[in-house]
Amino acid sequence: MQIKGYWYPANSAARYPATLNIQADQFSLVISDQDNLVGKVNTLSVSDRVGNITRKIGLYDQSIFETQANDQIDQLLLNLNHKDKKLHFLHHLETHWHWIATALLLTVVASFSTVYWGLPWASEKLAYSMPKVVSEKVSEGTLDILDKVLLEPSKLDKQQQASIRQHFEETLLSIQAKDNLDISQSANYQLKFRQLDDIPNALALPSGTIIITDALINMADNQAEIDSVLLHEIGHIESRHGLQQIIHSSIVTIGLAMMIGDTTAVEEMLIALPTLLLQSHYSRKHETEADNYAFEKMIQLNIDPIHFAHLFEKMLAWEEQDTATPSRPDEDEQDKANLLSTHPSSPERIQRAREYSKQYF
């Protein structure tokens, strides 16, 4: 076998045309048609093949023979069972269509299942394996900051607050206590009344603190409607949605950083939209879960889930008059808006509450 290429003396950029002749397991390198270097093929160290890049063959005197004759070199390595053929299987994978098709299919399947099942599953497992102290650490100070920047003390009279709180602790929490045999892992539930302009809203911190605004209490016509909101928030806390979202977004950040490496501002803009879509999809899933939790607990407590629907209809009416939009965008537009929304659309949630109600009451 005869292989043409170039030869470089050790450590030098001087280049000489050369020919490598192979006879059985012996080689002889003819440099500039004059001199010979001879030896056994297994003393040569051959670089791994990648695509069709120039192959480098190191000789015992640190000099280098380089050649483009990749196929001949591969043949030689295989024939002589040379030690440097050990990574040759990578080149085999990289050049055979059935392996490429397999790799492509597996990659697509792996990417989609990671995003749709793997990440949520891992976030959930991790969230549940975190000790209670983590939830407390995450929430620590959040209420203080909210009180400083957003919230004002409640203007509800003390008696109303006390009665709602009593109902919350004695009725709503009693069924949590029954569910939760492991007291050390159960959240430390606290109900806080606050004012946020005149916006009806409620939110839950992972530690178990639930904040409900005056406007929401005033909007509710009866205790059952308040219960529906509180149970929804308890649902978030029981399912550790707050922690799950922190873990989920952390994994997405680490994953993208690892995949893309150092991003420039332009590339960051490019990945911002898909990341946002993924996060809001995840958040909508949690809202639906918390709704279902609320519906089931309401049925357990013998409260008609229709109250959830009633309260949400009032919220919808309030939103519409607040944004002064005379009509709702049609359904098709809503679908598009849905992609970016962190909550499922309200009509959908009201519809589900009605279905639950019909089924049990």
Partner 1 sequence: MYEQDTSPNKSSSQMSLVFSGQALEYFKIWIVNIILSILTFGIYSAWAKVRNNRYFYGNTQLDNAAFEYHATPIMILKGRLIAIVALIIYITLSNFYPPAAIVFAIILALVSPWLVWKSLQFNARMMSYRNVRFSFKGALKEAYTILLLIPFIPIILTSIVFLLLYFISGDLSSEEILAILPIAFLATYLLFPHVQQLFTSYYINHQKYGQGDFSTQLSSKKYYKTYLFMILWVSLLIMATSTILALIMAVFTALAGGMDAYTNIQSLGSYDEEMGPAAIEGMIAAMIFMVIPIYLAFIFVGLWAKAYLETHIREYVFHRTQLDQVLRLKSNLAMGKLFMIYATNTLAVIFTMGLAYPWAIIRLTRYKIESIDAIVTGNLSNYVNQQQEKQSALGDEVGNAFDLDLDLGM
Q: Which is nearer to partner 1, 33 or 157 (CB)?
A: 33
Report the C-alpha gap between 87 and 311 in whole angstroms: 66
- End-to-end CA, the chain: 88
Binding mask of the shown chain, residues 209 to 248, with x at each position contacting partner 1 by CB under 8 A: -------------------------------------x--
Q: What residues from 327 to 356 belong to the interface with partner 1 (CB under 8 A)? A: 327, 329-330, 333, 336-337
- Residue where the block lists tokens 């952390």: 250
Nearest of 240, 117, 118, 250 to residue 187 by alpha carbon: 240
Residue 250 touches partner 1, criterion: CB under 8 A: yes
- Residue where the block lists tokens 């492509």: 104
Report the C-alpha gap between 52 and 54 in whole angstroms: 7
Tell me how long the chain is: 361
Work out how close the CB of 211 gets to partner 1 at its nearest, in angstroms, rounded to a whole number: 21
Report the SS3 class of residue 47: coil
Work out how close the CB of 229 gets to partner 1 at its nearest, in angstroms, rounded to a whole number: 27
- Of the candidates 24, 34, 81, 184, which one interacts with partner 1 according to CB under 8 A? 34
Work out how close the CB of 46 gets to partner 1 at its nearest, in angstroms, rounded to a whole number: 14
Q: Which is nearer to partner 1, 32 or 166 (CB)?
A: 32
Binding segment for partner 1 (CB under 8 A), chosen from 46-54, 73-81, 217-225, 308-316, is 46-54
- Contact in structure between 240 and 127 (CB atoms under 8 Å): yes
Residue 149 touches partner 1, criterion: CB under 8 A: no
Q: How many residues bind partner 1 (CB under 8 A)?
A: 59
Work out how close the CB of 279 gets to partner 1 at its nearest, in angstroms, rounded to a whole number: 15
Report the C-alpha gap between 138 and 250 in whole angstroms: 14
β-pair partners for 29: 20, 37
Report the SS3 class of residue 323: helix
Work out how close the CB of 164 gets to partner 1 at its nearest, in angstroms, rounded to a whole number: 32
Residue 113 touches partner 1, criterion: CB under 8 A: no
Residue 64 touches partner 1, criterion: CB under 8 A: yes
Q: Which is nearer to partner 1, 170 or 330 (CB)?
A: 330
- Of the candidates 129, 183, 258, 302, which one interacts with partner 1 according to CB under 8 A? 258
Chain-centre distance for alpha carbon 24: 56
- Of the candidates 4, 28, 78, 94, which one interacts with partner 1 according to CB under 8 A? 94
- The identity of residue 40, as a single letter, is K
- Of the candidates 253, 321, 342, 359, which one interacts with partner 1 according to CB under 8 A? 253
240 burial (CB, 10 Å; 0-12 / 13-18 / 19+) is buried
> What backbone torsions phi and psi does residue 198 show, to the nearest 5 degrees?
-120, 35
Residue 103 touches partner 1, criterion: CB under 8 A: yes
- The tokens for 108 are 């697509």
Report the C-alpha gap between 48 and 85 in whole angstroms: 8
- Residue where the block lists tokens 């993208």: 256
Residues that bind partner 1 (CB under 8 A): 6, 8, 11-17, 31-32, 34-35, 48, 50-54, 56, 64, 66, 90, 93-95, 99-100, 102-104, 106-107, 110, 134, 137-138, 246, 250, 253-254, 257-258, 261-262, 264-266, 269-270, 273, 325-327, 329-330, 333, 336-337
